[in-house]
């Protein structure tokens, strides 16, 4: 048989398959209506398991796995269609709708803001980029920022969530989940690390350098050029490092800090822009206790735990594909005190007003063992 003849037969089979698929989805819609009338859940795991076993047997040994994979996808799409018919049942989206009604239409220009660090920290730069007139209170660690908002000392908090070189700040994700806080906006800040010292200090005189762990990791090439006897010491943040240099009685210390710290603490730039990557950016999030959703919000952050069995993550990802929603970030990390089980961080791009977005949240809530909605917001570049 010639190739063109084979392809004609395939086309004919495809046409028949499409007709049968539409018929199946129509019947699936009837099932959805029955489930609505009888207050039944969309997912029937026992029914799906029986069906997958049945089609595997019918297809024979050569095609068993292929058929099972095909039908697993069909069942996913069928469930997605049923969700669409029955409407949004997501608790998260219902809270989003309520927040849209109650949130002011304009993001505030002035606000009380909690930041980790001291004057000159990159979090201050982020706060001043988000708010025209922020009233900033500084705290020694990330957890204290959350506590300050819970105690109503500040309305918002500014925290680093991701660096283009060093990756995600996992402690902040953990605290977001622990305190049940929400993201209301994010902002990107360009990171330029400089070696700062007291007036007149020369590079050859430096014996100890203070900075945050991430900044140290981001300046490895520069640090490798220094003599071996130069000590590198980790401190809470880059601004605290600059403050330590400014208040020290030593003249042989320096810090890896922002240029704003030079002005803030009266230091000299010993070496400028010493980071390994010139396009080094950190994304900061603005957090609060109560959900706020401002007009134009088109970015959403989630934390998910999938069932611990083969294909679970694939089924989650297939929902993004079937709904045409762009996935901006996917990152995994082990769940503490578990045996090789993982939690996933997702950032997705979709308008908060989109029906597809509402449907996605509804499907994910039901498909995941643990679902944490972190907020829908816009990002300042």
User: Which residues are annotated as catalytic?
Assistant: 282, 284
Residue where the block lists tokens 């809270």: 95
DSSP 11-70: HHHHHHHHHHHHHHHHHHHHHHHHHHHTT--S--HHHHHHHHHHHHHHH-TTTHHHHHHH
What is the sign, positive or negative, of the torsion defined by CA atoms of 70, 71, 73, 78?
Answer: positive
Q: How many CB atoms lie within 10 A of CB 277?
A: 13
CA–CA distance, 360 with 189 (Å, rounded to integer): 30
CA 118 to chain centre: 26
176 three-class SS: helix
* 8 A C-beta contact, residue 116 and residue 145: yes
Task: Show the CA angle centred on residue 214, arms to residues 304 and 330, nearest 5°.
Answer: 25
């Amino acid at each position: 048989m010639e190739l063109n003849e084979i392809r004609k037969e395939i086309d004919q089979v495809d046409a028949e398959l499409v007709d049968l698929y539409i018929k199946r989805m129509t019947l699936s819609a009837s099932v959805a209506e029955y489930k609505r009338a009888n207050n039944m859940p969309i997912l029937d795991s026992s029914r799906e398991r029986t069906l997958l076993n049945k089609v595997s047997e019918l297809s024979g040994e050569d095609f068993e796995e292929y058929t099972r994979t095909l039908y697993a996808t069909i069942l996913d799409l069928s469930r997605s269609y049923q969700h669409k018919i029955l409407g949004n049942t997501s608790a998260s989206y219902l809270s989003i709708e309520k927040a849209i009604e109650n949130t002011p239409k304009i993001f505030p220009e002035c606000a009380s803001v909690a930041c980790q660090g001291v004057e000159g920290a990159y979090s201050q730069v982020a706060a001043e980029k988000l708010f025209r007139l922020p009233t900033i209170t500084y705290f020694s660690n990330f957890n204290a920022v959350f506590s300050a908002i819970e105690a109503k000392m500040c309305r918002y908090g500014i925290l680093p969530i991701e660096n283009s070189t060093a990756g995600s700040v996992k402690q902040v994700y953990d605290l977001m989940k622990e305190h049940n806080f929400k993201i209301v906006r994010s902002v990107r800040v360009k990171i330029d690390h400089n070696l700062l010292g007291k007036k007149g200090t020369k590079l050859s005189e430096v014996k100890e350098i203070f900075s945050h762990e991430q900044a140290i990791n981001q300046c490895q090439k520069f640090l490798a050029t220094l003599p071996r006897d130069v000590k590198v010491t980790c401190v809470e943040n880059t601004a605290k490092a600059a403050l330590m240099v400014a208040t020290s009685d030593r003249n042989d210390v320096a810090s890896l800090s922002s240029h704003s710290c030079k002005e803030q603490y009266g230091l000299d730039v010993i070496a400028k822009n010493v980071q390994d990557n010139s396009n080094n950016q950190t994304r900061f999030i603005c957090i609060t206790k109560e959900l706020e959703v401002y007009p134009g919000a088109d970015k959403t952050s989630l934390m998910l735990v999938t069932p611990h069995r083969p294909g679970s993550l694939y089924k989650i990802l297939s929902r993004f594909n079937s709904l045409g929603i762009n996935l901006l970030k996917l990152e995994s990390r082990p769940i503490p005190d578990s045996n090789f089980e993982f939690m996933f961080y997702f950032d997705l791009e979709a308008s908060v007003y989109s029906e597809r977005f509402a449907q996605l949240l509804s499907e994910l809530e039901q498909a995941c063992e643990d679902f944490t909605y972190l907020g829908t917001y816009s990002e300042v570049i």
